[in-house]
Structure 1
Amino acid sequence: MATQGAQGSGMAANPSIGFIGFGELGECLAVGLRGAGVAQLLALDLLESPVKRGWVLDRVARTGVELLPEPAGLVRCDVVLACVPPGAALDAAHRCAPWLRPDAPYVDLASVDGDTKRALAGVVGGAGRLFAGGAVTGVPAESLHRVPMLVSGPGAERAIALLAPLGMRLDPCGADPGAAAAIKILRSLLAKGLEALYVEALGAARREGLAERVLDSFCAFLDARPARETARLLVCSHVVHAARRADEMNLCAAALERAGRSPVLARAVAAVMERSAAGGVRERLGARPPATLEEALEVLAAAGAAP
């Protein structure tokens, strides 16, 4: 059992940390936590595949983590990090939650949506245990246990109290167990959308021998101001310039087609612009850009031009 705080607060000074699932994420966290001085790291493997079992055994050997033979061993943990694949998250919660101590938070780090995290909270809470929905927002291979995470739900405060002193970076997102996952999923639309835009635009620019020039020009635009100000600038100006920008995107799509490229994103961006223009957002403000991002989003929502 982990040692108690010097003041008798019930807080583990060097907590025992358990992993449910021990893939790449679990290994990265374990390596970092071992380096941070955590003495007791335990892992439970729920995979039935002999090949994947072999991978887990290799990771356990590399990290010196103790492999638990069954879920009952989780009672030894002060906090449990569930690092299973998305499709296995509910099964893992059903099988493991009853074996946790009531004060040991179950932190689910599976990449699932907010509704699934809420369902997981129901399973873990139904067993009388603390649940925290987690979402990894960085690269574990680079940052190990210091990888940024969002965390929400009834067990979030306890999880942060146990893990933050070890160097883990957990950003609280409120009492809703699905909030952290929802933030990550919608954030991913921005990140992956930009990724896809780079692929489509730079691929087309390369055919023209202009990839570096296009990238230099765009990066100069991005570097001109803080990222949050760029978001405000684009969304606020979108309200009054959506129609013109839709025309520009349709021209871009036509150019891509002439070059033999499929303008998937160019057409999609044009459709977003056209939806805003059709909602009459420009007329609602008398062709005056809103001053704040919140005002812009409110106008777009009222016009049915945003979700």
Structure 2
Amino acid sequence: EAGSSLCIGWNRLGVRSFDIKQTNLDLKAAKCAEMQDLGVEAAEDVQAAVQGADLIFSTVTADQAFDAASSAAPWLRPGAFFFDLNSCAPSTKQKSAAVIEAAGGRYVDIAVMATITSKYHHTPMLICGDHSDAALTALLALDMTPKLIPGPVGRASTIKMVRSVLVKGVEALTAECFWAASKADVVDEVAASLDASQTGMGWKAQAHYNVERMTTHGIRRAAEMREVHKTLIDLGITPDMTRGTIDRQQQFGELKISLVDFDSFEARFAAIEAAVKTE
């Protein structure tokens, strides 16, 4: 998805690609046809795709990111950029960087910060690492819009991974909530109540508020969520997200600290960290 979206946005000649699906005889023809439709040359293997290239974009599934870097490394020309756009943990990016750098390439950590299928190569992206300044110039020349994040490889990915706790978590919570609402035939009522509860706070302010509520009322809220857990089971829904909520509310409630007198976001989370370490 990411690779094809970039190619659609660039709309340029001289791009070649290799997809692991090409090794599957049942999938190869369709994948090569897809590349051809985008004006992209279908390389026979990783070596053919990478060798001689100045810019390599790795857009694979997260579980294949390190393998992709490892398979490309032997064929890199000295000084070639290896742009790793994959949604991986910082430690995975750092492992990939070590392999690419050892082979003479220039590794760049790129975090794609929005759905890429709508804005294509103009999708917001963060970049970091030792070669970020030169990489920024190269990406701007492709009419891309990256933002440089100071720091070593992994910092851009850290921002994306931590952000995903909320973004993907909210998606999953929403699904669990409204699946239950649908089965209980109370969708409109639940939605109206949630709409009325919207605070208009930014996320940092909301987090500042939420953690105080959790440390003050976490035990009681965990008890309530156990009843929610029972409700979902009665509706025939596996309450996976609700179980996590019970655990976190219980944990914060058992810290037995008050955050009321801690005015800043930083002070509140420092107090939580200190309390967790003494458990």
> TM-score category by the smaller chain?
0.7 to 0.9
Q: Quick one: which of 4, 16, 28 aligns to 1:53? A: 28
- 1:207 partnered with 2:159: no
- 1:33 partnered with 2:10: yes
Report the CA distance between 1:237 and its aligned residue: 3.1
Q: Quick one: which of 108, 125, 149 aligns to 2:84? A: 108
Local SS of the residue matching 1:132: strand
Higher mean C-alpha deviation, range 24-33 or range 196-205: 196-205
Alignment of 1:71-90 (within 5 A): 71=47, 74-90=50-66
Q: Distance in 1 between matches of 2:64 and 2:225?
A: 42
Report the CA distance between 1:173 and its aligned residue: 3.2
Contact 1:246 1:269 in 2 (8 A): yes
Q: Distance in 2 between matches of 1:159 and 1:134?
A: 10
- 1:294 partnered with 2:269: no
Aligned partner letter, 2:145: R
Aligned to 1:10: none
Aligned to 1:62: 37
Report the CA distance between 1:259 and its aligned residue: 4.2
| Structure 2 residue runs without a partner (length 5+) | none
Check 1:83–1:264 CA distance in 2 against 1; reply closer, same or farther (3 A cut): closer
Give deviations 1:60-115, integer Å, cap 9, x for gaps: 21111233445256454332101233344333323323433433310112333222
Contact 1:276 1:305 in 2 (8 A): no
Local SS of the residue matching 2:23: coil
Report the CA distance between 1:230 and its aligned residue: 2.3
Contact 1:103 1:130 in 2 (8 A): yes
Q: Distance in 1 between matches of 2:54 and 2:70?
A: 19
Alignment of 1:70-219 (within 5 A): 71=47, 74-219=50-195
Report the CA distance between 1:275 and its aligned residue: 0.9
Check 1:209–1:169 CA distance in 2 against 1; reply closer, same or farther (3 A cut): same
Check 1:69–1:266 CA distance in 2 against 1; reply closer, same or farther (3 A cut): closer
Higher mean C-alpha deviation, range 194-203 or range 74-83: 74-83
Q: Quick one: which of 220, 237, 244 aligns to 2:220? A: 244
Aligned to 1:15: none
Aligned partner letter, 1:208: A
Q: Distance in 2 between matches of 1:62 and 1:39?
A: 12
Q: Distance in 2 between matches of 1:162 and 1:246?
A: 51
Give deviations 1:187-218, integer Å, cap 9, x for gaps: 22212221221122222222332212212322
Aligned to 2:231: 255
Contact 2:13 2:40 in 1 (8 A): no
Contact 1:105 1:132 in 2 (8 A): yes
Aligned partner letter, 2:3: G
Check 1:87–1:273 CA distance in 2 against 1; reply closer, same or farther (3 A cut): closer
Local SS of the residue matching 2:276: coil
**TM-score of the superposition, structure 1-length normalised?**
0.78
Contact 1:239 1:289 in 2 (8 A): no
Aligned to 1:43: 17
RMSD, aligned CA: 2.7
How many pairs does the alignment contain?
277
Check 1:289–1:193 CA distance in 2 against 1; reply closer, same or farther (3 A cut): farther
Q: Distance in 2 between matches of 1:305 and 1:224?
A: 33
Aligned partner letter, 1:64: G
| Structure 1 residue runs without a partner (length 5+) | 1-23
Q: Distance in 1 between matches of 2:212 and 2:184?
A: 32
